[in-house]
Amino acid sequence: MLLWTVVVLGSHTGMAYSAPKTVLVLGDSLSAEYGLVRGTGWVALLAQRLHEKKYDVDVINASISGETTSGGASRIADLLKKHRPDMVIVELGGNDGLRGLSLDAAQQNFRAIISTCQRAHASVLLVGMQIPPNYGRRYTDKFTAMYPALAREMHVALVPFLLEGVADKPELLQADQIHLTAAAHPRLLDNVWPFFSPLLTGK
């Protein structure tokens, strides 16, 4: 399990809030820096960008390689109790899809995660994912549609597709041909940032 905290210290001058914020990232290997040097994944880059922009934010990475929506649902309550985040970025589902797990069960797990966050007064950013058509067109289409449907149903913000701009570039893959190299992670952050920053500033 990867669990680390990046404390971003900065001035409050000109900020839209008056107290530090805590952001919790609940993800899988794409967020857990699988196969990467520590500090080169998109979550660490998020912390760096916040520091550069002088936000006062703690970024807590509670991502685990191989994590599924079921695992995330089982862990979220304890993570919320321990870290009391203001925001939770939920980057899960890829392993459910790659393993051909029940998408109805995945949706129920997502609902459990999101509703638990909402009861704890934490805003949620759901990160969309897509998968190759290994299990047929119907399963693949249902998987892709799951994220925007959940975002509408649960009234949460959505990153349409985390791997936009990198999924079709084999040169950005590690030797396993599954996980991304460090060179791809700045683009992942750029895919997340436009949907994350409004939650941070309230704008």
Return d(Cα 155, Cα 45) in angstroms, integer.
27
- Assign 173 to helix, strand or coil: strand
Whether residue 91 contacts residue 57, with contact meaning beta carbons closer than 8 Å, is answered with no
Catalytic residues: 29, 176, 179
End-to-end Cα separation, the chain, in angstroms: 34
Task: Say how far apart CA 127 and CA 92 lie, in whole Å.
Answer: 7
Kind and range of the H or E run holding 159: strand 157-159
Asked whether 59 and 46 are in contact (CB, 8 A), the reply is yes
